[in-house]
């Protein structure tokens, strides 16, 4: 596990954007699962401006989770990526594999899981992403694996229906085994609000059993925490 600390969210997002660009010159086809939430916004803006002319044609885009809403809904993780990155960078639609938030959640879990088995290389009997990019909520959730459904970290299927603990909103999420089967897992975490969890997970290394993010442990790949100083030092 590697930790990289950055002075600002912009420096963090710029560094990860460069990592993504470096991936594109790596091999024929690269399978990347994107995060939702607000942190990706800065990353997408940097990708769509600084790296607008990068050749993105080798990357296939997926999601770690999606809200069960229409792709036109402001809460859609796909819509955020489409507006801030895919459209300005002219990413080919055939390279984008969104979770269909408008579908029945249980049917979409089955459809997306089948898609991953069909499109991704299989390692350890599971679809293997080249890169899974994750965020972490203030309750320690990641993707849409929330503390009250932490059993999804060991779920038998690669996708599951999750429920937001406050709003009750249904989500489609990748589960722990497929996330941990990735070649590279990267957390992008910024802001003072995340400091208490980061302190528990990465510094004190106790009292984190209930945080799903703390159970992200690659089985054969690499885990990197990209953190800004506010999240790592509470400053
Ligand atoms: C989502 C995300 C979720 C997110 C965390 C952190 O759909 O909301 O996938 O897991 O990464 O909630 O969100 P912020 O980046 O907004 O802190």
Separation of CA 127 and ligand 1 centre (Å): 23
User: 175 in ligand 1 pocket by Cβ < 6 Å?
Assistant: no
In Å, the largest CA–CA distance within the chain is 45
Q: Does some domain include residue 174? A: yes
Q: What percent of the chain has pLDDT over 70?
A: 100
Q: Does some domain include residue 30? A: no
Q: Does some domain include residue 32? A: no
Looking at residue 208, what is its pLDDT?
87
Q: Does some domain include residue 171? A: yes
- Using the atom order of ligand 1, give the atom closest to the CA of residue 77: 7
Q: Does some domain include residue 34? A: no
Provide the CATH number for the domain around residue 189: 3.40.50.1360
Q: Does some domain include residue 10? A: yes
User: 48 in ligand 1 pocket by Cβ < 6 Å?
Assistant: no
Structure tokens belonging to residue 26: 């790596």
- The pLDDT tens digits of the residues spanning 59-116 come to 999 999 999 999 999 999 999 999 999 999 999 999 999 999 999 999 999 999 999 9
Phi, psi of 158 (to 5 degrees): -80, -20
pLDDT bin (cut points 50, 70, 90) of residue 205 is confident
> Which of 135, 153, 160 has most ligand 1 atoms within 8 Å of CB, for mutation?
135
Q: Does some domain include residue 179? A: yes
User: 65 in ligand 1 pocket by Cβ < 6 Å?
Assistant: yes
- The pLDDT tens digits of the residues spanning 127-171 come to 999 999 999 999 999 999 999 999 999 999 999 999 999 999 999
pLDDT bin (cut points 50, 70, 90) of residue 204 is confident
Taking CA atoms only, the protein residue closest to ligand 1 atom 8 is 37
Taking CA atoms only, the protein residue closest to ligand 1 atom 2 is 36
Looking at residue 222, what is its pLDDT?
97
Q: Does residue 27 carry a pLDDT above 80?
A: no
CA–CA dist 209, 150 (Å, integer): 10
Separation of CA 143 and ligand 1 centre (Å): 7
Range of the domain at 58: 2-21+39-195+204-233
pTM of the model: 0.96
Structural domains in the chain (count): 1
What is the CB neighbour count within 10 angstroms for residue 36?
A: 23
Separation of CA 3 and ligand 1 centre (Å): 19
Q: Does some domain include residue 210? A: yes
């Amino acid at each position: 596990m590697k930790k990289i600390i950055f002075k600002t969210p912009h420096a963090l997002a710029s560094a990860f954007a460069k990592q993504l660009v470096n991936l594109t010159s790596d091999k024929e086809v690269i399978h990347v699962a994107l995060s939702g939430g607000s942190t990706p916004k800065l990353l997408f803006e940097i990708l769509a401006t600084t790296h607008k002319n990068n050749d993105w044609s080798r990357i296939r885009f997926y999601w770690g989770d999606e809200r069960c809403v229409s792709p036109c809904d402001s809460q859609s993780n796909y819509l955020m990526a489409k507006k801030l990155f895919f459209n300005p960078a002219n990413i080919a639609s055939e390279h984008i594999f969104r979770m269909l938030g408008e579908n029945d959640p249980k049917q979409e879990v089955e459809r997306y899981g089948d898609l991953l088995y069909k499109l991704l290389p299989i390692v350890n009997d599971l679809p293997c992403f080249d890169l899974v990019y994750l965020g972490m909520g203030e309750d320690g959730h990641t993707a849409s694996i929330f503390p009250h459904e932490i059993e999804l970290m060991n779920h038998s299927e690669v996708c599951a229906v999750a429920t937001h603990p406050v709003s009750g909103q249904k989500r489609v999420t990748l589960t722990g085994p497929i996330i941990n089967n990735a070649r590279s897992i990267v957390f992008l975490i910024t802001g003072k609000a995340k400091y208490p969890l980061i302190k528990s997970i990465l510094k004190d290394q106790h009292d984190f059993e209930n945080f799903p993010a703390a159970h992200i442990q690659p089985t054969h790949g690499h885990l990197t925490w990209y953190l800004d100083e506010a999240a790592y030092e509470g400053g």
